[in-house]
Amino acid sequence: MLQQLMERMMDNPVAKRLLSHGVWAMAGKFGTVFLSLLVNSLLARILAPDEVGIYFLLFSVVTFGSYIGMLGLRQTIVKMLAENLDDPHRVKLLVKRILKIALCGAGGFTIVFAIFFQSIAAAVFNINLVMPIVVLVAVWILIDIFQQIISEGFRGFHNIKLASIFGGFLSSLTLVVSLFVIYFLGETRLIVVVALMVVSLLTSVSIASWLFKRQVTRVKKTYSGITLPSVDTISYKGILGVSVPLLIFTITAFFLYQSDLWIVGAFGTEEEVAIYGAAFRLVLIVSMPVVIADMITPPLIAQMNAQNKLKEIEGTLRNVSTIASIPAIAVIVVFIAGGQLILGLIFGEFYKSGAVILSILCIGQLFNVIGGSSGSTLMMTGNQKAIMIITLISSFLMIVGSIIAVQKYGPAGVAVVKSAGLLVQNILMIIVTKRKLGIWTHITWVTRLSLPKGKESYKVEREAN
């Protein structure tokens, strides 16, 4: 059946595009996740456990800071580029305005962070950071913001290849090479690792910026049947009107997906943070196939929605979600069965005690896998407020529950509450997607994978230049 499915997909322009983009997205994401694991494994061997715990917290803080500094532009640039690709003038104006807004948001947040974070880290996490590390982390956030916006800009142009390379693969590769050198030289300090991260990101962003500028200047007029939105939508007010709800969504989503590590950091020891952080980083592999699916479908969803053909790709979206779920569920089974062995091999003997936490977090990721692309579908179809409200509700319940659980049951209790929060979020997203758009996007049984229809069913005439 799968062979027949592949043959029919090659005869369908939409499915063929998804398959082609999926190969690049998969290669980039697999490479990035593998390199990230290698980074974590090396850090566990060249840093003391307490510094590893601090690094995991700093990495999470950088993610949070990037979300705030981006002002929701990461998803906005994908959606708005996909909607305006027919008009080169609009594209250039849109990119220029988005980058100006990003510069204001990133610059402002970075300054505030550098001034206040040292005090916040001491008060919340009981960590005393020297000022040079705080400054380096602030620069890390600033560069990371532009790396994410530019890589998502490539995705808006349907250039999944460059989006995959500059979405973290190149910077991770550069960092791994640097850490290997340090590994053979002996132990090091946290400040050196943070400095190397900044240099790696700067290298990636410099190359990406040059290529992105070329991509923008090469856009040509096309006639794909897309109804261009009002010109007001690409004004500063129009851009912020889309990005601000997405900003609120990304912040609340962060609390849903990553505040558990902060809560463990606030109530636990640095060693507990290191163990929880190791399981936390490892479980990201489970979500990798789903993340890959979310990398290739958003621009297509935005484009088909602009053509009023969203209903036509319901089956394709469910097929993509189902296919992505197969390796994800396989990894979940492996991690639950052999979590202790895997943690020991990757991070060392000290981290084996995180096997129970790893298993619980895997169950939470299973709910994400089942939910499919409902979140991306809502974001790319103008339903930013709906997903914002859903995530606000789920995050609030998860944070309150985690604070209660960590004091009674420790890190394992936090993991249980997080998994419950993901269950609530995904149920709500599936229901709201159906009610607002009339389509299902969650996974189906593998035996019910629908074969893509022929070329006549989809008239997508444009591939982005």
Q: Which pLDDT score is estimated for 29?
A: 67
SS3 letters for the chain? CHHHHHHHHHCCHHHHHHHHHHHHHHHHHHHHHHHHHHHHHHHHHHCCHHHHHHHHHHHHHHHHHHHHHHCCHHHHHHHHHHHHCCCHHHHHHHHHHHHHHHHHHHHHHHHHHHHHHHHHHHHHCCCCCCHHHHHHHHHHHHHHHHHHHHHHHHHHCCCHHHHHHHHHHHHHHHHHHHHHHHHHHCCCCHHHHHHHHHHHHHHHHHHHHHHHHHHHHCCCCCCCCCCCCCHHHHCHHHHHHHHHHHHHHHHHHHHHHHHHHHHHHHHCCHHHHHHHHHHHHHHHHHHHHHHHHHHHCHHHHHHHHHCCCHHHHHHHHHHHHHHHHHHHHHHHHHHHHHHHHHHHHHHCHHHHHHHHHHHHHHHHHHHHHHHCCHHHHHHHCCCHHHHHHHHHHHHHHHHHHHHHHHHHHCHHHHHHHHHHHHHHHHHHHHHHHHHHHCCCCCCCCHHHCCCCCCHHHCCCCCCCC
Give the pLDDT band of residue 227 (cuts 50, 70, 90).
Answer: low
Tens digit of each residue's pLDDT (9 = 90 or more) over 166-219 = 888 888 899 989 888 888 877 678 888 899 999 999 999 999 999 998 888 887
Q: Which pLDDT score is estimated for 100?
A: 92
Tens digit of each residue's pLDDT (9 = 90 or more) over 19-77 = 555 565 666 666 777 888 788 888 888 888 888 888 888 888 898 889 888 888 888 88
Give the pLDDT band of residue 222 (cuts 50, 70, 90).
Answer: low
Average of per-residue pLDDT values in the chain: 81
Tens digit of each residue's pLDDT (9 = 90 or more) over 108-145 = 999 999 999 888 888 888 888 889 999 999 999 999 99
Q: Is the pLDDT of residue 298 over 80?
A: no
Q: Is the pLDDT of residue 337 over 70?
A: yes
Q: Which pLDDT score is estimated for 295?
A: 67
Q: Which pLDDT score is estimated for 1?
A: 46
Give the pLDDT band of residue 459 (cuts 50, 70, 90).
Answer: very low
Give the pLDDT band of residue 242 (cuts 50, 70, 90).
Answer: confident
Give the pLDDT band of residue 451 (cuts 50, 70, 90).
Answer: very low
Q: Is the pLDDT of residue 5 over 60?
A: no
pLDDT above 70 covers what percent of the chain?
86
Give the pLDDT band of residue 9 (cuts 50, 70, 90).
Answer: very low
